[in-house]
A and B are shown apart, each in its own frame.
Chain A
Amino acid sequence: QVHLVESGGGVVQPGRSLRLSCAASGFTFSSYAMQWVRQAPGKGLEWVAVISFDGNKEYYADSVKGRFTISRDNSKNTLYLQMNSLRIEDTAVYYCAREDPTPFDYWGQGTLVTVSS
């Protein structure tokens, strides 16, 4: 049974950093691309970043490019999102989701990041 569990969310001041983790189980993690999607309170879904199965390719939304870094440790079955220079508008629930070949087929429950002074 596929399981994705995000962690690392919390309250952080603008300009500070936070690292999110997504622990995967129930499938061969190293065979799948993975991604992060966020949802601001009361708003729609916004794609954040995707990383290839081997970590060699990464793509980012313009809104986070240069501030966020997606990475993975296949030996630990874990996906990460390093978020630097956080802004108030980064406040959202952050979901990890499995990617290719079937996009968005499994999602975690999400972790809430609140950027506030």
Chain B
Amino acid sequence: QAGLTQPPSVSKGLRQTATLTCTGNINNVGYQGAAWLQQHQGHPPKLLSYRNNNRPSEISGRFSASRSGNTASLTITGLQPEDEADYYCSAWDSSLRGWVFGGGTKLTVL
């Protein structure tokens, strides 16, 4: 199953803004957009956003998602120490008839 492309790591300073990217194709990200998940070590993933910028009510407004063509982005403003985690994007692939994931981006807050 062809995956989505995410940068392996991103480092930003405390209270700065980080933008994570996720590149797919017209059959997945370009089809219905992406979901974004946050995973802290030893814990299950947590949904941050789905179909571009639909955010569960309990998720902070510091997290916002968008899409341009076949690339989805997750922007995290006012970085906090607890934002240090792995971030995954995922999208339904209409051609493969399944979900595809990105390899994940490890976000380090300096």
A-side interface residues toward B, CB under 8 Å? 35, 37, 44-47, 50, 59-63, 95, 102-105, 107-110
A4 closest partner in B (C-beta): B44
Given the interface contacts A45-B104, A47-B1, A110-B44, does A105 sit within 8 Å of B56 by beta carbon? yes
- Answer yes or no: B102 CB below 8 A from chain A CBs: yes
Cβ contacts under 8 Å, B37 to chain A:
45, 104
Please give the distance in Å from B59's CB to the nearest CB on chain A: 11
Interface 1/0 per residue, B33-52 and A, CB below 8 Å: 00101010000111100100
A38 to B104, CA, bound (A): 14
Within 8 A of A (CB), among B66-110: 86, 88, 90, 92, 96-104
* B103 contacts across to A, CB distance below 8 A: 44
Secondary structure of the B side of the interface? strand
Residues of B close to A44: CB separation below 8 A? 86, 88, 101-104
Contact surface of B with A, Cβ cutoff 8 Å: 1, 35, 37, 39, 44-47, 50, 54, 56, 86, 88, 90, 92, 96-104
Bound-complex Cα distance A92 to B96 (A): 23
Given contacts A44-B103, A46-B101, A104-B50, 4 further A-B pairs with CB under 8 A are: A44-B104, A61-B1, A104-B37, A104-B47
Which A residue sits closest to B88, measured CB to CB? A45
Q: B51: nearest residue on chain A (CB-CB)? A: A103
CA–CA, A102 to B100, complex, Å?
Answer: 16
Tell me how far the C-beta of A31 lies from the nearest C-beta in chain B, rounded to whole angstroms.
18
Which of B44, B56, B101 is the one whose CB lies under 8 Å from A47? B101
Contact B47 A47 (CB under 8 A): no
